[in-house]
A and B are shown apart, each in its own frame.
Chain A
Protein backbone atom coordinates (compact mmCIF):
# COMPACT_ATOMS: atom_id res chain seq x y z
CA UNK A 1 0.00 0.00 0.00
CA UNK A 2 1.33 3.48 -0.83
CA UNK A 3 2.09 5.93 1.97
CA UNK A 4 0.72 8.97 0.17
CA UNK A 5 -1.67 9.75 -2.68
CA UNK A 6 -1.44 12.32 -5.47
CA UNK A 7 -4.59 13.77 -7.05
CA UNK A 8 -3.13 14.93 -10.36
CA UNK A 9 0.02 14.38 -12.42
CA UNK A 10 0.84 18.10 -12.19
CA UNK A 11 0.66 18.23 -8.38
CA UNK A 12 3.76 19.14 -6.42
CA UNK A 13 2.33 17.85 -3.13
CA UNK A 14 0.97 14.46 -2.09
CA UNK A 15 -1.27 13.57 0.87
CA UNK A 16 -0.14 11.10 3.55
CA UNK A 17 -2.67 8.29 4.03
CA UNK A 18 -0.78 6.94 7.01
CA UNK A 19 1.36 8.60 9.68
CA UNK A 20 4.80 9.09 8.14
CA UNK A 21 7.96 9.32 10.29
CA UNK A 22 10.93 11.58 9.60
CA UNK A 23 13.61 9.73 7.63
CA UNK A 24 11.18 7.12 6.33
CA UNK A 25 11.37 6.14 2.63
CA UNK A 26 7.80 6.53 1.39
CA UNK A 27 6.06 5.73 -1.87
CA UNK A 28 3.18 7.52 -3.58
CA UNK A 29 0.40 6.55 -5.97
CA UNK A 30 -1.65 8.62 -8.42
CA UNK A 31 -5.28 8.43 -7.45
CA UNK A 32 -6.61 8.82 -11.02
CA UNK A 33 -5.14 5.57 -12.38
CA UNK A 34 -3.35 4.15 -9.34
CA UNK A 35 -0.03 4.39 -11.21
CA UNK A 36 3.01 4.29 -8.97
CA UNK A 37 4.26 7.69 -7.88
CA UNK A 38 7.66 8.85 -6.67
CA UNK A 39 9.65 7.35 -3.80
CA UNK A 40 10.65 10.06 -1.37
CA UNK A 41 12.56 10.29 1.89
CA UNK A 42 10.42 12.17 4.41
CA UNK A 43 12.26 15.05 6.07
CA UNK A 44 9.74 15.54 8.90
CA UNK A 45 7.02 13.57 10.62
CA UNK A 46 3.95 13.93 8.40
CA UNK A 47 0.62 13.02 10.06
CA UNK A 48 -2.11 11.21 8.13
CA UNK A 49 -3.90 13.75 5.93
CA UNK A 50 -1.01 16.21 5.80
CA UNK A 51 0.96 17.08 2.68
CA UNK A 52 4.43 16.03 1.57
CA UNK A 53 6.43 18.02 -1.02
CA UNK A 54 7.07 16.10 -4.23
CA UNK A 55 9.48 18.75 -5.59
CA UNK A 56 11.75 21.44 -4.25
CA UNK A 57 9.86 24.74 -4.07
CA UNK A 58 11.28 28.23 -3.87
CA UNK A 59 9.63 31.05 -1.92
CA UNK A 60 6.72 32.35 -4.02
CA UNK A 61 6.31 29.12 -6.03
CA UNK A 62 2.74 27.98 -6.59
CA UNK A 63 1.63 24.90 -4.68
CA UNK A 64 -0.40 22.60 -6.95
CA UNK A 65 -2.98 20.03 -5.76
CA UNK A 66 -5.90 18.62 -7.78
CA UNK A 67 -3.90 20.12 -10.71
CA UNK A 68 -4.82 23.57 -9.42
CA UNK A 69 -3.12 26.28 -7.37
CA UNK A 70 -3.91 25.96 -3.66
CA UNK A 71 -1.50 28.67 -2.50
CA UNK A 72 2.14 29.74 -2.56
CA UNK A 73 5.29 28.77 -0.69
CA UNK A 74 6.27 31.45 1.82
CA UNK A 75 9.72 29.95 2.27
CA UNK A 76 11.88 27.38 0.56
CA UNK A 77 10.41 23.87 0.76
CA UNK A 78 12.51 20.77 0.11
CA UNK A 79 11.34 17.56 -1.46
CA UNK A 80 10.04 15.29 1.33
CA UNK A 81 9.23 18.19 3.63
CA UNK A 82 5.94 18.62 5.51
CA UNK A 83 3.86 21.21 3.60
CA UNK A 84 1.35 23.07 5.76
CA UNK A 85 0.35 26.48 7.15
CA UNK A 86 3.91 27.09 8.39
CA UNK A 87 5.33 27.20 4.86
CA UNK A 88 2.45 27.89 2.44
CA UNK A 89 -0.36 30.47 2.31
CA UNK A 90 -3.56 31.00 0.38
CA UNK A 91 -3.35 33.13 -2.77
CA UNK A 92 -6.89 34.25 -2.13
CA UNK A 93 -7.45 35.11 1.50
CA UNK A 94 -5.49 36.25 4.47
CA UNK A 95 -2.93 38.78 5.65
CA UNK A 96 -0.15 37.34 3.60
CA UNK A 97 -1.91 38.14 0.34
CA UNK A 98 -2.89 41.61 1.52
CA UNK A 99 0.69 42.50 2.46
CA UNK A 100 1.99 41.55 -0.98
Chain B
Protein backbone atom coordinates (compact mmCIF):
# COMPACT_ATOMS: atom_id res chain seq x y z
CA UNK B 1 0.00 0.00 0.00
CA UNK B 2 1.16 3.56 -0.72
CA UNK B 3 2.27 5.92 2.04
CA UNK B 4 -0.50 6.27 4.59
CA UNK B 5 -2.46 9.44 3.82
CA UNK B 6 -3.07 11.88 6.65
CA UNK B 7 -5.47 14.76 6.90
CA UNK B 8 -5.60 17.81 9.12
CA UNK B 9 -8.77 17.83 11.18
CA UNK B 10 -10.17 19.33 14.36
CA UNK B 11 -9.81 16.99 17.32
CA UNK B 12 -12.78 17.49 19.65
CA UNK B 13 -13.01 17.11 23.44
CA UNK B 14 -14.15 13.46 23.15
CA UNK B 15 -11.46 12.54 20.62
CA UNK B 16 -13.71 12.58 17.55
CA UNK B 17 -12.37 14.39 14.48
CA UNK B 18 -14.15 17.07 12.45
CA UNK B 19 -13.24 18.65 9.12
CA UNK B 20 -15.13 21.91 9.70
CA UNK B 21 -15.31 24.20 12.70
CA UNK B 22 -18.76 25.74 13.14
CA UNK B 23 -20.72 27.21 15.99
CA UNK B 24 -24.19 25.73 15.48
CA UNK B 25 -27.43 27.52 16.32
CA UNK B 26 -29.99 24.77 16.82
CA UNK B 27 -33.70 25.57 17.08
CA UNK B 28 -35.53 22.78 18.89
CA UNK B 29 -38.77 23.64 17.10
CA UNK B 30 -40.14 25.59 14.14
CA UNK B 31 -41.07 28.53 16.40
CA UNK B 32 -37.43 29.07 17.30
CA UNK B 33 -36.13 29.33 13.74
CA UNK B 34 -36.46 33.13 13.64
CA UNK B 35 -34.33 33.65 16.74
CA UNK B 36 -31.65 31.22 15.50
CA UNK B 37 -31.55 32.92 12.11
CA UNK B 38 -31.44 36.28 13.90
CA UNK B 39 -28.28 35.29 15.77
CA UNK B 40 -26.68 33.92 12.59
CA UNK B 41 -27.17 37.31 10.90
CA UNK B 42 -25.38 39.12 13.71
CA UNK B 43 -22.54 36.73 14.43
CA UNK B 44 -20.06 35.64 11.75
CA UNK B 45 -18.96 32.01 12.00
CA UNK B 46 -22.28 30.69 13.23
CA UNK B 47 -24.62 28.43 11.28
CA UNK B 48 -28.37 28.39 11.96
CA UNK B 49 -30.07 25.07 11.32
CA UNK B 50 -33.78 25.86 10.83
CA UNK B 51 -36.35 23.08 10.26
CA UNK B 52 -40.16 22.77 10.33
CA UNK B 53 -40.68 20.34 13.23
CA UNK B 54 -40.60 20.04 17.02
CA UNK B 55 -44.16 20.76 18.10
CA UNK B 56 -46.47 18.05 19.45
CA UNK B 57 -44.43 15.21 18.10
CA UNK B 58 -44.55 12.09 20.24
CA UNK B 59 -43.14 8.62 20.74
CA UNK B 60 -40.52 7.31 18.34
CA UNK B 61 -41.03 10.28 16.02
CA UNK B 62 -40.11 12.72 18.81
CA UNK B 63 -37.18 10.55 19.88
CA UNK B 64 -35.91 10.65 16.29
CA UNK B 65 -36.14 14.45 16.16
CA UNK B 66 -34.16 14.74 19.42
CA UNK B 67 -31.68 12.19 18.08
CA UNK B 68 -31.16 14.26 14.92
CA UNK B 69 -30.91 17.64 16.69
CA UNK B 70 -28.57 16.44 19.43
CA UNK B 71 -26.56 14.36 16.95
CA UNK B 72 -26.11 17.41 14.74
CA UNK B 73 -24.86 19.46 17.67
CA UNK B 74 -22.60 16.61 18.75
CA UNK B 75 -21.17 16.22 15.22
CA UNK B 76 -17.38 16.70 15.25
CA UNK B 77 -17.68 19.51 12.68
CA UNK B 78 -19.30 21.60 15.43
CA UNK B 79 -17.04 23.42 17.92
CA UNK B 80 -19.86 24.66 20.12
CA UNK B 81 -23.65 24.79 20.04
CA UNK B 82 -26.42 27.12 21.08
CA UNK B 83 -29.83 25.52 21.51
CA UNK B 84 -32.90 27.73 21.25
CA UNK B 85 -36.38 26.41 22.07
CA UNK B 86 -39.78 27.82 22.84
CA UNK B 87 -39.84 25.69 26.03
CA UNK B 88 -36.79 25.29 28.23
CA UNK B 89 -37.34 21.59 29.03
CA UNK B 90 -37.13 20.29 25.51
CA UNK B 91 -34.22 22.60 24.73
CA UNK B 92 -32.36 21.20 27.75
CA UNK B 93 -32.93 17.63 26.56
CA UNK B 94 -31.19 18.37 23.27
CA UNK B 95 -28.46 20.44 24.92
CA UNK B 96 -27.67 17.84 27.59
CA UNK B 97 -27.02 15.21 24.91
CA UNK B 98 -24.69 17.56 23.06
CA UNK B 99 -22.92 18.45 26.31
CA UNK B 100 -21.95 14.76 26.76
CA UNK B 101 -19.33 15.32 24.04
CA UNK B 102 -17.63 17.89 26.30
CA UNK B 103 -18.08 20.78 23.88
CA UNK B 104 -19.55 24.08 25.03
CA UNK B 105 -23.36 24.22 24.82
CA UNK B 106 -25.80 26.92 25.96
CA UNK B 107 -29.61 26.97 26.08
CA UNK B 108 -31.83 29.99 25.46
CA UNK B 109 -35.60 29.54 25.99
CA UNK B 110 -37.95 31.93 24.22
CA UNK B 111 -40.88 31.74 26.66
CA UNK B 112 -40.34 34.34 29.36
CA UNK B 113 -37.87 36.23 27.17
CA UNK B 114 -39.16 36.86 23.66
CA UNK B 115 -37.14 36.68 20.47
CA UNK B 116 -35.23 39.94 20.88
CA UNK B 117 -33.93 39.17 24.35
CA UNK B 118 -32.97 35.65 23.21
CA UNK B 119 -31.23 36.99 20.12
CA UNK B 120 -29.26 39.46 22.25
CA UNK B 121 -28.22 36.96 24.93
CA UNK B 122 -27.53 34.14 22.47
CA UNK B 123 -25.54 36.48 20.21
CA UNK B 124 -23.28 37.53 23.08
CA UNK B 125 -22.66 33.85 23.88
CA UNK B 126 -22.23 32.94 20.21
CA UNK B 127 -19.63 35.71 19.83
CA UNK B 128 -17.57 34.17 22.63
CA UNK B 129 -17.93 30.67 21.17
CA UNK B 130 -16.86 31.78 17.69
CA UNK B 131 -13.80 33.56 19.02
CA UNK B 132 -12.93 30.50 21.08
CA UNK B 133 -13.45 28.21 18.09
CA UNK B 134 -11.34 30.45 15.86
CA UNK B 135 -8.27 29.48 17.89
CA UNK B 136 -8.75 25.76 17.34
CA UNK B 137 -6.07 24.46 15.01
CA UNK B 138 -6.19 21.69 12.45
CA UNK B 139 -4.07 18.77 13.64
CA UNK B 140 -2.62 15.90 11.66
CA UNK B 141 -4.65 12.70 12.07
CA UNK B 142 -5.01 9.59 9.98
CA UNK B 143 -8.04 8.58 8.00
CA UNK B 144 -9.17 6.09 10.63
CA UNK B 145 -10.59 8.99 12.62
CA UNK B 146 -13.05 9.91 9.87
CA UNK B 147 -16.70 8.96 9.47
CA UNK B 148 -17.86 9.50 5.90
CA UNK B 149 -21.26 8.87 4.32
CA UNK B 150 -22.37 8.07 0.78
CA UNK B 151 -25.59 8.48 -1.16
CA UNK B 152 -26.72 8.96 -4.75
CA UNK B 153 -29.47 11.27 -5.96
CA UNK B 154 -31.24 12.16 -9.20
CA UNK B 155 -29.52 8.98 -10.32
CA UNK B 156 -29.55 7.73 -13.85
CA UNK B 157 -27.90 4.83 -15.61
CA UNK B 158 -24.58 6.72 -15.71
CA UNK B 159 -24.54 6.45 -11.89
CA UNK B 160 -24.62 2.64 -12.01
CA UNK B 161 -22.15 2.53 -14.91
CA UNK B 162 -19.49 4.94 -13.70
CA UNK B 163 -19.88 7.38 -10.78
CA UNK B 164 -21.13 4.74 -8.30
CA UNK B 165 -18.50 2.06 -9.06
CA UNK B 166 -15.79 4.75 -8.96
CA UNK B 167 -17.11 5.90 -5.58
CA UNK B 168 -17.13 2.24 -4.51
CA UNK B 169 -13.41 2.13 -5.30
CA UNK B 170 -12.86 5.21 -3.07
CA UNK B 171 -15.03 3.66 -0.33
CA UNK B 172 -12.93 0.49 -0.33
CA UNK B 173 -9.77 2.57 -0.06
CA UNK B 174 -11.15 4.74 2.77
CA UNK B 175 -12.11 1.61 4.71
CA UNK B 176 -8.68 0.06 4.05
CA UNK B 177 -7.23 3.14 5.75
CA UNK B 178 -9.56 2.67 8.70
CA UNK B 179 -12.36 5.13 7.97
CA UNK B 180 -15.99 4.31 8.71
CA UNK B 181 -18.45 4.66 5.83
CA UNK B 182 -22.22 5.00 6.27
CA UNK B 183 -24.81 4.19 3.61
CA UNK B 184 -28.62 3.93 3.70
CA UNK B 185 -31.51 4.57 1.30
CA UNK B 186 -33.57 1.64 2.57
CA UNK B 187 -36.32 1.66 -0.09
CA UNK B 188 -33.77 2.06 -2.87
CA UNK B 189 -32.23 -1.29 -2.09
CA UNK B 190 -35.34 -3.03 -3.47
CA UNK B 191 -34.22 -5.62 -5.99
CA UNK B 192 -30.73 -5.75 -4.48
CA UNK B 193 -31.63 -6.19 -0.79
CA UNK B 194 -30.53 -9.84 -0.95
CA UNK B 195 -27.10 -8.79 -2.25
CA UNK B 196 -26.74 -6.30 0.62
CA UNK B 197 -27.89 -8.95 3.12
CA UNK B 198 -25.39 -11.47 1.74
CA UNK B 199 -22.59 -8.99 2.50
CA UNK B 200 -23.47 -8.89 6.22
CA UNK B 201 -21.43 -11.72 7.80
CA UNK B 202 -23.05 -11.55 11.24
CA UNK B 203 -26.36 -13.50 11.16
CA UNK B 204 -28.02 -11.36 13.85
CA UNK B 205 -27.13 -8.15 12.00
CA UNK B 206 -28.28 -9.68 8.71
CA UNK B 207 -31.62 -10.49 10.30
CA UNK B 208 -31.84 -6.96 11.74
CA UNK B 209 -31.17 -5.52 8.28
CA UNK B 210 -33.84 -7.68 6.62
CA UNK B 211 -36.36 -6.76 9.31
CA UNK B 212 -35.69 -3.03 8.84
CA UNK B 213 -35.86 -3.39 5.06
CA UNK B 214 -39.07 -5.42 5.13
CA UNK B 215 -40.85 -3.07 7.54
CA UNK B 216 -39.92 -0.09 5.37
CA UNK B 217 -41.19 -1.61 2.15
CA UNK B 218 -44.28 -3.08 3.83
CA UNK B 219 -45.18 0.39 5.02
CA UNK B 220 -44.77 1.87 1.54
CA UNK B 221 -46.83 -0.91 -0.05
CA UNK B 222 -49.50 -0.60 2.66
CA UNK B 223 -50.29 2.85 1.26
CA UNK B 224 -51.67 1.12 -1.83
CA UNK B 225 -50.20 3.57 -4.32
CA UNK B 226 -48.29 3.08 -7.52
CA UNK B 227 -44.88 4.43 -6.76
CA UNK B 228 -43.82 4.75 -10.36
CA UNK B 229 -42.90 8.43 -10.73
CA UNK B 230 -41.96 8.66 -7.04
CA UNK B 231 -39.58 5.73 -7.06
CA UNK B 232 -37.86 5.79 -9.51
CA UNK B 233 -38.34 9.57 -9.58
CA UNK B 234 -39.20 11.57 -12.67
CA UNK B 235 -35.54 12.57 -12.87
CA UNK B 236 -34.43 8.93 -12.66
CA UNK B 237 -36.84 8.03 -15.45
CA UNK B 238 -35.67 10.92 -17.62
CA UNK B 239 -32.14 9.58 -17.14
CA UNK B 240 -33.13 6.14 -18.39
CA UNK B 241 -33.89 4.22 -15.18
CA UNK B 242 -37.08 2.21 -15.66
CA UNK B 243 -37.65 0.26 -12.43
CA UNK B 244 -36.76 0.23 -8.74
CA UNK B 245 -34.73 -2.96 -9.24
CA UNK B 246 -32.58 -1.29 -11.90
CA UNK B 247 -32.07 1.73 -9.64
CA UNK B 248 -31.12 -0.44 -6.66
CA UNK B 249 -28.59 -2.48 -8.62
CA UNK B 250 -26.96 0.77 -9.74
CA UNK B 251 -27.18 2.20 -6.23
CA UNK B 252 -25.21 -0.63 -4.58
CA UNK B 253 -22.29 -0.20 -7.01
CA UNK B 254 -21.09 2.58 -4.70
CA UNK B 255 -20.81 0.29 -1.67
CA UNK B 256 -17.46 -1.08 -2.79
CA UNK B 257 -16.61 -4.65 -1.80
CA UNK B 258 -16.11 -4.68 1.99
CA UNK B 259 -18.31 -6.66 4.37
CA UNK B 260 -21.11 -4.74 6.09
CA UNK B 261 -20.35 -5.00 9.79
CA UNK B 262 -22.82 -2.57 11.30
CA UNK B 263 -26.58 -2.09 10.91
CA UNK B 264 -28.18 0.97 12.53
CA UNK B 265 -31.88 1.64 12.88
CA UNK B 266 -33.15 5.21 13.24
CA UNK B 267 -32.25 5.66 16.89
CA UNK B 268 -29.11 3.53 17.10
CA UNK B 269 -25.88 5.34 17.84
CA UNK B 270 -22.71 4.69 15.87
CA UNK B 271 -20.29 3.17 18.32
CA UNK B 272 -16.82 4.60 18.32
CA UNK B 273 -14.83 2.10 16.47
CA UNK B 274 -12.55 0.68 13.96
CA UNK B 275 -13.14 0.77 10.28
CA UNK B 276 -16.46 -0.45 9.05
CA UNK B 277 -19.08 -0.26 6.35
CA UNK B 278 -22.35 0.54 8.03
CA UNK B 279 -25.99 0.44 6.92
CA UNK B 280 -28.18 3.22 8.37
CA UNK B 281 -31.98 3.00 7.99
CA UNK B 282 -32.85 6.20 6.10
CA UNK B 283 -35.33 7.45 3.59
CA UNK B 284 -33.93 7.84 0.10
CA UNK B 285 -34.68 11.57 -0.03
CA UNK B 286 -31.32 13.31 -0.36
CA UNK B 287 -31.62 15.95 2.35
CA UNK B 288 -33.23 13.55 4.85
CA UNK B 289 -30.55 10.91 4.36
CA UNK B 290 -27.62 13.36 4.55
CA UNK B 291 -29.17 14.96 7.64
CA UNK B 292 -29.45 11.59 9.41
CA UNK B 293 -25.90 10.56 8.39
CA UNK B 294 -24.57 13.84 9.84
CA UNK B 295 -26.53 13.24 13.04
CA UNK B 296 -24.92 9.78 13.31
CA UNK B 297 -21.48 11.42 13.10
CA UNK B 298 -20.57 11.63 9.41
CA UNK B 299 -18.28 14.63 8.83
CA UNK B 300 -18.10 14.47 5.03
CA UNK B 301 -20.49 13.13 2.42
CA UNK B 302 -19.81 11.70 -1.05
CA UNK B 303 -22.84 12.22 -3.29
CA UNK B 304 -23.09 10.81 -6.79
CA UNK B 305 -25.63 12.27 -9.18
CA UNK B 306 -26.70 11.57 -12.73
CA UNK B 307 -29.28 14.21 -13.62
CA UNK B 308 -27.98 16.79 -11.11
CA UNK B 309 -29.13 16.74 -7.49
CA UNK B 310 -27.89 19.90 -5.76
CA UNK B 311 -28.20 18.91 -2.08
CA UNK B 312 -25.88 20.24 0.63
CA UNK B 313 -25.90 20.34 4.43
CA UNK B 314 -25.29 23.17 6.93
CA UNK B 315 -22.39 21.51 8.75
CA UNK B 316 -21.00 18.71 6.60
CA UNK B 317 -19.40 19.19 3.18
CA UNK B 318 -21.20 17.29 0.41
CA UNK B 319 -18.94 16.31 -2.52
CA UNK B 320 -20.85 16.00 -5.82
CA UNK B 321 -19.65 13.37 -8.24
CA UNK B 322 -21.12 12.87 -11.70
CA UNK B 323 -20.38 10.77 -14.78
CA UNK B 324 -23.14 12.20 -16.97
CA UNK B 325 -21.36 14.41 -19.54
CA UNK B 326 -24.49 16.53 -20.09
CA UNK B 327 -25.00 17.21 -16.39
CA UNK B 328 -21.31 17.97 -15.88
CA UNK B 329 -21.48 20.50 -18.72
CA UNK B 330 -24.84 22.11 -17.91
CA UNK B 331 -24.64 22.11 -14.09
CA UNK B 332 -20.89 22.54 -13.77
CA UNK B 333 -21.17 24.85 -10.76
CA UNK B 334 -22.58 21.95 -8.70
CA UNK B 335 -20.18 19.17 -9.69
CA UNK B 336 -16.97 18.73 -7.69
CA UNK B 337 -15.65 15.58 -9.32
CA UNK B 338 -16.27 14.91 -13.00
CA UNK B 339 -15.87 11.22 -13.90
CA UNK B 340 -17.66 11.40 -17.26
CA UNK B 341 -14.40 10.30 -18.89
CA UNK B 342 -14.93 6.94 -17.16
CA UNK B 343 -18.35 6.63 -18.82
CA UNK B 344 -16.62 7.35 -22.13
CA UNK B 345 -13.99 4.70 -21.27
CA UNK B 346 -11.13 7.20 -21.48
CA UNK B 347 -9.86 6.35 -17.98
CA UNK B 348 -9.90 3.22 -15.84
CA UNK B 349 -12.17 2.64 -12.86
CA UNK B 350 -9.07 2.88 -10.68
CA UNK B 351 -8.12 6.30 -12.07
CA UNK B 352 -11.64 7.64 -11.57
CA UNK B 353 -11.79 6.15 -8.06
CA UNK B 354 -8.42 7.68 -7.15
CA UNK B 355 -9.70 11.05 -8.34
CA UNK B 356 -12.66 10.78 -5.92
CA UNK B 357 -10.43 9.58 -3.09
CA UNK B 358 -7.95 12.44 -3.59
CA UNK B 359 -10.72 15.00 -3.74
CA UNK B 360 -12.14 13.61 -0.50
CA UNK B 361 -8.77 14.25 1.17
CA UNK B 362 -8.69 17.83 -0.12
CA UNK B 363 -12.20 18.53 1.18
CA UNK B 364 -11.35 16.95 4.52
CA UNK B 365 -8.38 19.33 4.67
CA UNK B 366 -10.60 22.34 4.20
CA UNK B 367 -11.31 22.81 0.50
CA UNK B 368 -14.91 24.02 0.22
CA UNK B 369 -17.32 21.94 -1.88
CA UNK B 370 -19.60 23.44 -4.52
CA UNK B 371 -22.61 22.88 -2.24
CA UNK B 372 -20.88 24.78 0.58
CA UNK B 373 -19.97 27.73 -1.64
CA UNK B 374 -23.44 27.81 -3.21
CA UNK B 375 -24.94 27.82 0.31
CA UNK B 376 -26.90 24.59 -0.03
CA UNK B 377 -27.75 24.19 3.65
CA UNK B 378 -30.54 21.61 3.50
CA UNK B 379 -31.37 20.25 6.93
CA UNK B 380 -34.30 17.88 6.88
CA UNK B 381 -35.06 15.63 9.84
CA UNK B 382 -36.97 12.46 8.89
CA UNK B 383 -40.50 12.61 10.28
CA UNK B 384 -42.11 9.23 10.88
CA UNK B 385 -45.78 10.07 11.36
CA UNK B 386 -48.33 12.79 12.10
CA UNK B 387 -48.03 15.07 15.13
CA UNK B 388 -50.53 14.97 17.98
Give the B-binding residues of A (Cβ under 8 A): 1-2, 5, 7, 15-17, 29, 31, 34, 47-51, 65-66, 68-71, 83-85, 88-95
In the complex, which residues of chain B have a beta carbon less than 8 angstroms from the beta carbon of A2?
345
Interface string of B226-254 (1 = CB under 8 A from A): 11100100000101101111100110000
Known: A1-B344, A92-B191, A94-B227. A50 touches B246 (CB 8 A): no
Q: Is B306 an interface residue (CB 8 A)?
A: yes
Instruction: Tell whether, in the assembled complex, residue B190 and residue A94 are in contact, meaning their CB atoms are under 8 Å apart.
Output: no
Which of A17, A71, A84, A93 is in CB contact (< 8 Å) with B161?
A17
Instruction: Tell whether, in the assembled complex, residue A90 and residue B244 are in contact, meaning their CB atoms are under 8 Å apart.
Output: yes
Binds A, one of B79-87, B125-133, B152-160, B267-275: B152-160
26 A-B pairs within 8 Å (CB atoms) are namely A1-B344, A1-B345, A7-B160, A15-B240, A17-B343, A29-B345, A48-B324, A48-B326, A49-B156, A50-B240, A66-B160, A66-B250, A68-B191, A68-B249, A69-B191, A69-B245, A70-B242, A70-B245, A70-B249, A71-B245, A84-B242, A88-B243, A89-B243, A90-B191, A92-B245, A93-B221
Instruction: Tell whether, in the assembled complex, residue B245 and residue A51 are in contact, meaning their CB atoms are under 8 Å apart.
Output: no
Q: State the Cβ distance, B234 to closest chain A Cβ, in Å.
A: 11
Main secondary structure of the interface of A (DSSP, over half): loop
Top 10 nearest A-B pairs (CB, nearest first) are A49-B240, A90-B243, A50-B240, A70-B246, A71-B243, A95-B226, A66-B249, A70-B245, A49-B157, A15-B157
Give the A-binding residues of B (Cβ under 8 A): 156-158, 160-161, 190-192, 220-221, 226-228, 231, 237, 239-240, 242-246, 249-250, 306, 324-326, 343-345
Residue of B nearest to A17 (CB): B343
Known: A29-B345, A94-B226. A83 touches B161 (CB 8 A): no
In the complex, which residues of chain B have a beta carbon less than 8 angstroms from the beta carbon of A49?
156-158, 239-240, 306, 324
Q: State the Cβ distance, A14 to closest chain B Cβ, in Å.
A: 10
Known: A48-B326, A49-B324, A93-B221. A65 touches B249 (CB 8 A): yes
Q: State the Cβ distance, A15 to closest chain B Cβ, in Å.
A: 5
Instruction: Tell whether, in the assembled complex, residue B237 and residue A85 are in contact, meaning their CB atoms are under 8 Å apart.
Output: yes
In the complex, which residues of chain A have a beta carbon less than 8 angstroms from the beta carbon of B324?
48-49
Known: A17-B161, A94-B228. A85 touches B245 (CB 8 A): no
In the complex, which residues of chain B have a beta carbon less than 8 angstroms from the beta carbon of A89?
228, 243
16 A-B pairs besides A15-B240, A17-B343, A84-B237 with CB distance below 8 A are: A1-B345, A48-B158, A49-B239, A51-B240, A66-B250, A70-B243, A70-B245, A71-B242, A83-B242, A84-B240, A85-B228, A89-B228, A93-B220, A93-B227, A93-B228, A93-B231
Instruction: Tell whether, in the assembled complex, residue A93 and residue B244 are in contact, meaning their CB atoms are under 8 Å apart.
Output: yes
Q: State the Cβ distance, B363 to closest chain A Cβ, in Å.
A: 27
Query: Once the chains are docked, how many angstroms separate the CA of A74 from the CA of B11?
Result: 57
Query: Once the chains are docked, how many angstroms separate the CA of A94 from the CA of B246?
Result: 14
Q: State the Cβ distance, A42 to closest chain B Cβ, in Å.
A: 14
Query: Once the chains are docked, how many angstroms separate the CA of A54 from the CA of B189?
Result: 26
Q: State the Cβ distance, B252 to closest chain A Cβ, in Å.
A: 9
Query: Once the chains are docked, how many angstroms separate the CA of A18 from the CA of B237?
Result: 17
Query: Once the chains are docked, how many angstroms separate the CA of A27 from the CA of B220?
Result: 40
In the complex, which residues of chain A have a beta carbon less than 8 angstroms from the beta carbon of B231?
93
Query: Once the chains are docked, how many angstroms separate the CA of A71 from the CA of B246?
Result: 8
In the complex, which residues of chain A have a beta carbon less than 8 angstroms from the beta carbon of B160?
7, 66
In the complex, which residues of chain B have a beta carbon less than 8 angstroms from the beta carbon of A1?
344-345
Q: State the Cβ distance, B67 to closest chain A Cβ, in Å.
A: 29
